[in-house]
Amino acid sequence: MRLVVDLNRCQGYAQCAFLAPDVFAMHGDESLLYRPEVEEDRREDMARAVAACPVQAIMVDANSPGGNPGSDREAGR
Amino acid sequence: MSVDGSLDRLKREGRIVVVGASLAGLRAAETLREKGFAGSLTMIGDEPYEPYDRPPLSKQVLLGRATADRTGLPRLRAVDAQWRLGVPATGLDMAARRVRLADGDEVEYDRLLIATGVRARPWPQEDEAELDGVFVLRTRDDAEALERSLAQGPRRVLVIGAGFTGSEIASACRERGIAVTVAERADAPLVGALGGVVGEVAAELQRKHGVDLRCGVMVTRLEGDSAGHVRAAHFSDGSTVEADVVIVSLGAQRNTEWLAGSGLGAGLRGIACDAGCRAFDIRGIVTDDIYVAGDVARSPHPLFGYQFLSLEHWGNAVAQAETAAHNMLSESADRRPHIWVPAFWSSQFGVNIKSVGVPSMGTEILIAQGSRSEHRFTGVYGYQGRVIGAVTFDQTKWLQFYQQLIETTAPFPPAFPTVDRRPEGQQPIPADFPDPSVPTHGPTVTLSGYAPDDRRLTFTPARH
């Protein structure tokens, strides 16, 4: 699944880095580095990180019954 | 429109075409669906990839922490679009409401959104630009090729241009232990965006991290070896640097060539639009069916004297796309202005640099908190007695406060005491921006146009 962090919003609270240190890591005192794509089975972890962010800066692929909306299947059309 | 219900019909069965399948295009498409657009949506993109995020390309990707093909943007909702990827738009017929594509196809629209963005400005000498080992960094393919080359352990990398992208590339190289020379025409890195006072700090950071930073010089020639691989660069001061990787980081050019002759007000500086994101035609009349968003747009901002701002900022692309999409589906009384306060970030040499407002309009700067020598401070920019911008180095938490001052046109210098005010922050000093009349490359903010209530064209001092 894909994710992006709005780094204008990010204040470096690092809640995400505590919850999923292999995906989110502080780089220096205040910069956040993250992996923009993680395995699909991490969806629950990511949902926790999204919810824990005090400034709601993390966005992930929407969860829809039919799988990721607008993924490669759509691009091939 | 409501007289004959045509807006309802547009929402139900209209045709919307988005040219540009990157951040702005995707967010606009999602917003259109969120607002109930049920008609046909076509996304046209010149790159063969689904929308991906560019900021990681000069950071995570060059650090080897993510690969360039894994930076796709998350989908916040289904957009149910026809995707025409890898097919650039080549022309626009405004009268027939048709977009021409490179493969000869034509796509008709009722509403068009142009979000074609910018591309990296190439090295001007074509034969030198084609040498192996010479790169630009803008696209996923650029990043992939550059990362591969860095992974091979070049003896020295030369970065031409110390704007944000160039500085981030230099930072990533140093972190990987690669020797780097940075050549910058101005007196310091980042001066176009942040001025000389802050540029000095950026220069210090680079040198502290082992960058061979050379300011006040231009690269006059790139030299290749017999195999066609770059081997050296010659500088305007007569010196030569041997480098096997050269990254040309001289800012961006707007992707508007495909609109030449269409009658739309598009050119080198982008596409002019009103605050509601509607494009102007060449007569200066606003169109009602063509909208613009993202890096390619130039729109007047009430907070900054109605100057036409062209902002190559991630947050601007998102906000403008959402506003454009909203307005495309709205009656005129329901339309919203794009009045996003400019903001951007950069991560380099372990420091988080963030900014709000338009620092480059500032004539003075006050180091309101912290200290430049500690590389941790807040700089506040003043213009005609008001706060116009702010920058923080590792002091993100204060930035929002200064954004409020900008939004409320608070007086400059701020009349109140601030936390951690140092002796250097007692008085404002000249912000030291380069003379805007001298051509330069790579500013993050370009100001132009006339304000109805402020026809002064000199908004930065001529000091260089």
* CATH number of residue A40's parent domain: 3.30.70.20
Contact: B394, A30; criterion CB under 8 Å: yes
| pLDDT at position B444 over 90 | no
Considering only CB atoms, which chain B residues are within 8 Å of A6? Answer: 314-315, 318
Tell me, yes or no, whether B393 lies in a domain.
yes
Do residues B359 and B374 both lie within one domain?
Answer: yes
Q: Provide the β-strand partners of residue B384.
A: none
Average of per-residue pLDDT across B213-228:
97
Considering only CB atoms, which chain A residues are within 8 Å of B81? Answer: 70, 74
User: To which residue do tokens 């109805």 refer?
Assistant: B452
Tell me, yes or no, whether B86 lies in a domain.
yes
Nearest CB to A12; choose among B73, B314, B396: B396
What is the model's pLDDT at position B435?
A: 72
Confidence of residue B95 (pLDDT cuts 50, 70, 90): very high
Structural domain that includes position B78: 6-119+253-334
| pLDDT at position B305 over 50 | yes
Give the total number of structural domains in chain B. Answer: 3
| pLDDT at position B457 over 50 | no
Considering only CB atoms, which chain A residues are within 8 Å of B396? Answer: 10-12, 30
Contact B240, B156 (CB under 8 A): no
* CATH number of residue B391's parent domain: 3.30.390.30
What is the model's pLDDT at position B453?
A: 59
Q: How far is A49 from chain B (nearest CA, A)?
A: 15
Mean of pLDDT over chain B? 93
- Identify the domain boundary among B277, B304, B334: B334
pLDDT in tens, B326-361: 999 999 999 999 999 999 999 999 999 999 999 999
Confidence of residue B4 (pLDDT cuts 50, 70, 90): low
* Integer CA distances (angstroms), B295 to B54, B86, B117, B423, in order: 12, 20, 5, 39
| pLDDT at position B153 over 70 | yes
Confidence of residue B5 (pLDDT cuts 50, 70, 90): confident
A47 touching B (Cβ < 8 Å) = no
Tell me, yes or no, whether B451 lies in a domain.
no
B59 touching A (Cβ < 8 Å) = yes
B217 touching A (Cβ < 8 Å) = no
Contact: A36, B345; criterion CB under 8 Å: no
pLDDT in tens, A41-64: 999 999 999 999 999 999 999 976
Question: For B205-209, B295-299, B446-450, B458-462, which range has the lowest pLDDT when averaged over its residues?
Answer: B458-462
Considering only CB atoms, which chain A residues are within 8 Å of B390? Answer: none
Average of per-residue pLDDT across B15-19:
98
B64 touching A (Cβ < 8 Å) = no
What are the CB-based long-range contacts (under 8 Å, 24+) for B370-373?
Answer: B370/B395, B370/B420, B370/B422, B371/B422, B371/B424, B372/B197, B372/B198, B372/B200, B372/B201, B372/B424
Q: How far apart are CA B58 and CA B225, in angstroms?
A: 28
Average of per-residue pLDDT across A15-23:
96
Confidence of residue A37 (pLDDT cuts 50, 70, 90): very high
Contact B61, B21 (CB under 8 A): no
What ipTM was assigned to the predicted interfaces of this complex?
A: 0.90
What is the model's pLDDT at position B452?
A: 54
Query: Which comes out higher in pLDDT, residue B270 or B445?
Result: B270
